[in-house]
């Protein structure tokens, strides 16, 4: 039995993976993605990002993202949609123009409305806002390097949830960020964001019209630096008690600080994966886990963090690693 089937048997909703059109050209990779017992949810790693969808202003091209949606439907997998309001991977017409607050607000509204409407009733969830909080150092304040924060101010967050709520009443609407699982201060920032969304007054004067349903804990972690099981469970319990929202581990990978890893390091990696999976099983409001790619061959880590990597459950030859067997053992 695959990881998703075992996860469901353990009472959770999904074990999923990110993938994308270019990796699906690899048959060995494709065969694993297309196995709904292994992965019960898929999410496009890049194809639904604004900069991919709308390279030229006004010309939205859904071809690649639609291919992932179609694969999910064909395989009987949940489709997670990623991502609407994020300060990275934006089209150049967004980053290189000079905006008034009104114009950027209208542009963001048009983007969210167009994209959410296109995928209406196909998404299990939408990552509505991602990485709004300051990092390095992690903090509970909103990041000023975001064009949305700079031009629109904090209201871009509840507005994004409001427009997404209107365009798809069924998709779960998520806030997504990193280091929430290890930084209590940043997690507090999300609690504040949840309140900001809940207290939002819509343009027509109604309170509570901006819906938020969950938080994605990205969990790009490093081997040997994962918190203990008890501390991870207690952070998740504290956080879900404060927000009363579901959470998922949304972009899990656990990389080595230097590669290639030896057997001892791979055993530690297995232990670390077991800790994260066990924490989700132990916390009632944790609904599932999604890995940000399942094979070391295509992981984003080696590009984003040169010298680091091999953070996935399968190796470059699509062979299951100790980490995969560890996850199976705790499920």
For the chain, the straight-line distance linking the first and the last C-alpha, in angstroms and rounded, comes to: 11
User: Which candidate in 45, 131, 181, 310 is catalytic?
Assistant: 131
Q: Which is nearer to ligand XIL, 269 or 299 (CB)?
A: 299
The residue at minimum Cβ distance from ligand XIL is: 300
Contact 65, 59 (CB under 8 A): no
Contacts with ligand XIL, residue ranges (CB under 6 A): 45-46, 130, 176, 218, 251, 300
CB of 217 to ligand XIL, least distance (A): 11
Closer by beta carbon to ligand XIL, 6 or else 53: 53
> Shortest Cβ distance from residue 100 to ligand XIL (Å)?
28
DSSP letter assigned to residue 221: E
251 assigned to active site: yes
Contacts of residue 243, defined as CB under 8 A and 6 or more positions apart, other chains included, come to: 190, 191, 194, 215
Tokens (6 digits) for 172: 């779960």
Residue 237 designated active-site: no
Are residues 190 and 196 in contact, defined by beta-carbon separation less than 8 angstroms?
no
> In angstroms, what CA-CA distances link 302 with 296, 311, 316?
9, 9, 12
User: What is the Cα–Cα distance from 4 to 43, expressed in whole angstroms?
Assistant: 14
Residue (129 or 274) nearer to ligand XIL, CB? 129
Closest separation in Å from C-beta 67 to ligand XIL: 16
Helical axes 101-118 vs 156-167, angle rounded to 10°: 30
- Nearer to ligand XIL by Cβ, of 130 and 248: the residue is 130
CB of 59 to ligand XIL, least distance (A): 22
Residues whose CB falls within 8 Å of the CB of residue 160, separated by 6 or more in sequence, listed in order: 84, 85, 108, 112, 128, 129
β-sheet bridge partners, residue 78 = 41
> What's the farthest any 2 CA atoms get from each other in the chain?
60
Q: Are 134 and 192 in contact (CB under 8 A)?
A: no
For residues 111 and 200, which CB has a smaller minimum distance to ligand XIL in the complex? Answer: 111
Residue 137 beta carbon to ligand XIL: minimum distance, rounded to whole angstroms: 18
Catalytic residue among 38, 181, 251, 310: 251
So which residues are the catalytic ones? Answer: 131, 251
């Amino acid at each position: 039995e695959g990881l998703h089937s075992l996860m469901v048997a353990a009472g959770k909703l999904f074990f999923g993976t990110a993938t994308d059109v270019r990796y699906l050209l690899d048959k060995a990779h494709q065969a694993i993605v297309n196995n709904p017992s292994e992965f019960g949810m898929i999410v496009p790693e890049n194809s639904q990002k604004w900069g991919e969808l709308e390279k030229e202003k006004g010309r939205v091209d859904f071809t690649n993202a639609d291919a992932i949606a179609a694969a999910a439907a064909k395989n009987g997998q949940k489709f997670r949609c990623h991502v609407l309001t994020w300060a990275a991977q934006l089209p150049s017409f967004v980053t290189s123009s000079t905006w008034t607050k009104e114009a950027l607000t209208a542009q963001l509204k048009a983007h969210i409305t167009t994209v959410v409407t296109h995928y209406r009733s196909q998404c299990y969830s939408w990552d509505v806002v991602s990485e709004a909080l300051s990092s390095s150092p992690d903090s509970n304040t909103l990041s000023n390097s975001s064009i949305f924060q700079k031009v629109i101010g904090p209201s871009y967050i509840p507005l994004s949830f409001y427009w997404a709520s209107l365009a798809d009443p069924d998709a779960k609407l998520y806030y997504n960020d990193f280091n929430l699982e290890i930084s209590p201060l940043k997690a507090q920032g999300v609690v504040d964001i949840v309140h900001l969304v809940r207290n939002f007054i819509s343009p027509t004067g109604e309170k509570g019209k901006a819906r938020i349903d969950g938080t994605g804990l990205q969990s790009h972690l490093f081997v040997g630096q994962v918190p203990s099981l008890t501390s991870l469970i207690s952070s998740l319990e504290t956080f879900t008690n404060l927000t009363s929202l579901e959470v998922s581990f949304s972009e899990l990978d656990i990389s080595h600080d230097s590669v290639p890893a030896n057997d001892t390091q791979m055993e530690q990696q297995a232990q670390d994966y077991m800790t994260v999976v066990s924490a989700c099983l132990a916390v009632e409001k944790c609904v599932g886990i999604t890995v940000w790619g399942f094979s070391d061959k295509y992981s984003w880590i080696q590009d984003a963090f040169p010298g680091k990597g091999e953070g996935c459950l399968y190796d470059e030859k699509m062979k299951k690693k100790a980490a995969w067997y560890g996850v199976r053992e705790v499920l």
